[in-house]
Structure 1
């Protein structure tokens, strides 16, 4: 294996991105379809929801610390200098409807770093926050906007209409099919179905991933977020008690932080070869042997109550998370991220409008209620 110091890391240039000629039209169609989901959820719940990450499980106040002595290729953007930043984090499930926590699926993490100054990814963005949005699935389930339109959108529209009991039965049947039939022949379910048979594990012990790449100053990276404090790391792979109820994740997060703090590492995996580590296809794993994840910061949460009524209302109704809200040095890259830019904005606009809720970027962590 080549020594890390001797590796040639891909330099960021705008021409690393190669969008399809019809990508904007594809995104228009996706936004129209998702607006139907937004409106249906509003009729059902009598309030606007996110079209993804609708149900939160905890809103956390913490601190992100960039250490001294990072290698030059890691000391980029907001990580260029050592220091500490306050953060607000939101744990969620990625579904666009409110479902029982007993249902298996992908979980989400939004990290909002406060007090980040510098040129922004979007010219009309005047905030001083840096958002990172991560999920428990290492690679994205669809390669690009076109694949999402053809495969992801029908799935999203169907899932918005399937009741919990039917979805639970479907998940059980898929698990049996995966284990008893496909397993015999060395095959497995497609990834967009496999997420519904994965174990339902404790959120605080799981790693989270950016799934798609982003600019890392002069370079390009993907991100990983991993528990390292003993109490949080011990939760890795711990399954949720089937008798714990419909809010099992929320309850487990509240119970944990009543007794413990938790520390996580934020790690960057730098791109070394766009052939083996593509920018536009978010389904292809970036090989660790080519470039391992390396720690660029720690995120620490002290004991707290992460789900008071005031905090829940602030996290769900006031806050918005968008990976495009941040520095140009951490500009999201690739088709899936270009899709998210417009989809998240459209969803946020609808939600805040119908809820008559202010859309405010926090300037100070004290704005998060206790």
Structure 2
């Protein structure tokens, strides 16, 4: 950005993270949370009955796992030097997992669905939440769509109830969703571009504290090679694991680079925090770069890495800095849902959850 552009962004009035109205806990949210935990556990049980292995309620299909560097520059303007992670220049080891968002580990890659990306950043120093205070990591998760149809806890409970009732009957599912006022949002997940994972933009969907302010964040591919891959879409004649194969081929032969950008809260009416089904207008509220993710050439498909991550690691946005606190209904749900989902997986798979402290503990 030019100095004039930065000057304009520095002077804008950003909403403080603890301002009145940023978070509004609705009645019965705790009851809805308990119901969602039971629903996700039932979905996990159904998958276990098919595969005799328990997976997470979402993001069950691993597409690849890589290691890289998260680089924070030292010349950020004052309004972006937020939290211990972005306050000064730094370079951090990072482990990243690509996934498909649904909870079916056998989902055919030729079926268009949201995809996932997650980062575990190591050697992060600062005041941590209790759940991760003994582990110097910042967990960050992304989705390939900028808004999430499970937009708050109440909506999540209602939609999961419909999905469980309909099972695998897509026609019945559509009929039930048509009765809802948010039908277009609910079916948008089935209409996403099905393309090369390395060409995708990755979004937080929900809001997070950003030091003094509130942000959404995203990753944007920043090499010409990655951008050109957006033209490579999945076709019916491709294999059912084509996304994993494309990803492996790319990482074996190319470096990858992404810009990590934040979008700051300025208007609660137009940028709701409690409801994560609304896209924040990027023309009114521009994205601002604060870091870079660099992934050098490597094999993205390691059996040992995949097994270790799926069986032992829990990536959780509540494992990290207090200054980057997850905000809003969907994130409050994650705070109780993720540990419950993980506990069932460890019990049914007879595996121990391992909260790693260094990137070297991840094999491969």
**TM-score, scaled relative to structure 2:** 0.91
Q: How many residues align?
A: 350
Q: SS where residue 229 of structure 2 aligns?
A: coil
Q: 1:189 Cα shift? A: 6.4
Instruction: Give the match for residue 315 of structure 2.
Output: 321
1:50 matched residue in structure 2:
56
What residue is the counterpart of 1:97 in the other structure?
104
Q: Which residue of 2 aligns with 1:365?
A: 359
Q: Does 1:72 align with 2:78?
A: yes
User: What corresponds to 2:18 in structure 1?
Assistant: 13
Please say if residues 114 and 362 of structure 1, whose CA atoms lie closer than 8 Å, have aligned partners that are also in contact. Answer: no
Are 1:58 and 1:306, in contact at CA under 8 Å, matched by a contact in 2? yes
**1:242-261 maps to which residues of 2 (within 5 A)?**
242-261=236-255
**Contact kept in structure 1, 2:96 and 2:119, CA below 8 Å:** yes
Q: Which runs of 5+ in 1 are unaligned?
A: 175-187
Match of 2:120 among 112, 126, 151: 112
8 Å contact from structure 2 (residues 36, 157) kept in 1: yes
- d(CA) in 1 for partners of 2:240, 2:133: 38
The answer (yes or no) to whether the contact 1:272–1:290 under 8 Å persists in 2 is no
SS of 1:305's equivalent?
coil
2:344 aligns with 350
How far apart, CA to CA, are the structure 1 residues paired with 2:23 and 2:191? 34
Q: 5+ unaligned residues in a row in structure 2: which ranges?
A: 176-181
Match of 2:224 among 227, 230, 239: 230
1:70 partner SS: coil
Aligned to 1:39: 45
- CA shift for structure 1 position 170: 9.6
- Contact persistence 1:122–1:328 (CA under 8 A): no
**2 CA distance for matches of 1:346 and 1:199?**
32
* CA displacement at 1:124 relative to structure 2: 6.3
Equivalent position to 1:341, from 335, 342, 356: 335
Mapped partners of 2:315, 2:265: distance in 1: 25
CA distance in 1, matches of 2:163, 2:261: 30
Q: 1:194 to 1:158 in 2, by over 3 A?
A: farther
- Output the TM-score relative to the length of structure 1: 0.89
C-alpha offsets along residues 9-56 of structure 1, whole Å, 9 cap, x if unaligned?
111117521111210111101111111111111121111101000001
- In the alignment, the residues of structure 1 paired with residue 183 and residue 157 of structure 2 have an alpha-carbon distance, to the nearest angstrom, of 20
CA–CA distance in structure 2, aligned partners of residues 290 and 200 of structure 1: 28
In structure 1, what is the Cα distance between the partners aligned to 2:363 and 2:247?
A: 17
Tell me the distance in 2 between the aligned counterparts of 1:298 and 1:252. Answer: 23
Q: Which residue of 2 aligns with 1:87?
A: 94
Q: Which residue of 1 aligns with 2:214?
A: 220
- Alpha-carbon contact 1:227-1:264 (below 8 Å) kept: yes
The corresponding residue for 1:181 is none
